[in-house]
Amino acid sequence: MKKLPLIASCVLILAFTSSRLSAAGDQFVSVKDFGAVGNGVANDTKAIQAAFASVNSAPYARALLFPAGTYLVDHLQFNGAHDVRLSFNGAMIVGASKVPQPSVVTYNNAFNVTIDGFHTVSAQNRLTYACAVEFTTAPGVGTGSISRVNVHNMTCVDAQWALKINDYKNDIQCSELNFFGFLSIRCPQAVWLGGSQAGASFASSQIIAERNAVLPKLPFIAFRLEGGFLTVNGGEVCVPEPTGYGFYLNPCKTDLYHSTYPVVRVVGCHIECNAKLAEISNPRKIKSPYSRGLAQFSVTGCGGFCTPEMNGTTFVNVSDPTYAGKLQFSGCEFYNDYRSPTLRTAPTISGQPMTQIQVDKTSFGCGFKNWMGGVTGGILRHGLEQIVYADNLNNQSVAKNATDALRFSTQIGTGSYERYSPCYNSKTGVFTVPSGGLQSLEMSAICNVATAEAPTEAIAIYKNRVIDTVGTISGKTMAVRGVYASLPAGTTLEVRLKNTSSAAVRFGVSARDKLIVTASN
Is pLDDT of 25 > 60? no
Residue 328 binned pLDDT confidence (cut-offs 50, 70, 90):
confident
Is pLDDT of 8 > 80? no
Average pLDDT of the segment spanning 111-135: 94
Q: What percent of the chain has pLDDT over 90?
A: 40
- Beta bridge pairs of residue 460: 469, 496
Is pLDDT of 274 > 60? yes
pLDDT confidence of residue 519? 86
Show the domains of the chain with their CATH numbers.
186-380 (2.160.20), 385-520 (2.60.120.40)
CB 209 within 8 A of CB 190: yes
Average pLDDT of the segment spanning 323-332: 82
Instruction: Indicate the range of 166-170, 184-188, 197-201 predicted with least confidence.
Output: 166-170
Distances 369 to 81, 276, 360, 377 between C-alpha atoms, Å: 51, 16, 16, 15
CB 154 within 8 A of CB 119: yes
Is pLDDT of 381 > 80? no
Is pLDDT of 98 > 90? yes
Average pLDDT of the segment spanning 316-327: 80
403-405 vs 492-498, strand pairing mode: antiparallel
Q: In terms of pLDDT, which residue wins out, 391 or 508? A: 391
Q: Which amino acid is at 176?
A: E
DSSP SS3 for 159: coil
Is pLDDT of 120 > 60? yes
Distances 435 to 31, 384, 420 between C-alpha atoms, Å: 76, 18, 11
Rounded to an integer, what distance in angstroms lies between the CA atom of residue 258 and that of residue 239? 31
pTM here is 0.75
Is pLDDT of 213 > 60? yes
Is pLDDT of 24 > 80? no
Q: For 404-436, write each residue's pLDDT tens digit.
A: 888 999 999 888 899 899 999 999 999 999 998
Average pLDDT of the segment spanning 502-517: 85
Rounded to an integer, what distance in angstroms lies between the CA atom of residue 386 and that of residue 201? 35
pLDDT confidence of residue 499? 78
Is pLDDT of 134 > 90? yes
